[in-house]
Amino acid sequence: MLSSTWHSRTTRGVLAIGAAAALVLTGCSDKSTGTGTNTSGTSGATDLKITPVAQVDINGKEVPKVDPAKAADPAGDGKATCAPTTLAFAGALTGPNAALGINIDMGAKLALDQHNKANPGCQITLKSFDTEGDPQKATQVIPQIVNDKSIVALLGPTFSGETKATGKILSDAGLASLTSSATNATLTANGWTSFFRGLANDDVQGPSVAKYLTGTAGYKKVCVVQDNSDYGTGLAKSITEGLGAAADPSCAASIKTGDKDFAATVTKISGAKADAVFFAGYYAEGAPLAQQLKSGGFKGVFVGPDGTNDPQFLSQAGSAAKGATLTCPCGPAPEKFEKDYVAFNKQPSGVYSVEAYDLATILTKAIGAGKVSRPDILEYVRSYDGPGLARQYKWSANGELSNALIWIYTVK
Predicted TM-score (pTM) above 0.85: no
Share of the chain above pLDDT 90, in %: 83
pLDDT tops 60 at residue 208: yes
- In angstroms, what CA-CA distances link 214 with 83, 145, 192, 297? 54, 44, 36, 23
Question: Does residue 96 have a cis bond before it (omega within 30 degrees)?
Answer: no
Encode 28-47 in three state secondary structure.
HHHEECCCCCCCCCCCCCCC
* Residue partners of 149: CB distance under 8 A and separation at least 6: none
Residues 228-249 pLDDT 10s: 998 999 999 999 999 999 999 9
Residues 95-137 pLDDT 10s: 988 999 999 999 999 999 999 999 999 999 999 999 999 999 9
Measure the CA–CA gap between 108 and 336, rounded to whole angstroms: 16
Measure the CA–CA gap between 132 and 385, rounded to whole angstroms: 32
Measure the CA–CA gap between 88 and 143, rounded to whole angstroms: 12
Which CATH number is 10-65+203-331's, of 3.40.50.11540, 1.10.3720.10, 3.40.50.2300, 1.10.10.10? 3.40.50.2300
Type of residue found at 18:
G
> Domain 68-200+338-405 class?
alpha beta
**Domain limits of the chain?**
10-65+203-331, 68-200+338-405
Instruction: Read off the pLDDT band of 47 (50, 70, 90).
Output: confident
Residues 138-147 pLDDT 10s: 999 999 999 9
* Residue partners of 77: CB distance under 8 A and separation at least 6: none
* Residue partners of 24: CB distance under 8 A and separation at least 6: none
Smallest CA-to-CA distance from 43 within 291, 279, 235, 255 is with 291
Residues 171-180 pLDDT 10s: 999 999 999 9
Helix axes 160-173, 135-147, angle to 10 degrees: 30
Residue 67, pLDDT score: 87
Type of residue found at 54:
A
Residue 219, pLDDT score: 97
Instruction: Read off the pLDDT band of 46 (50, 70, 90).
Output: low
Beta strands in 84-242 (DSSP E): 85-91, 124-130, 151-155, 177-179, 195-197, 222-226
Q: What are phi and psi of 204, to 5 degrees?
A: -95, -45
Share of the chain above pLDDT 70, in %: 89
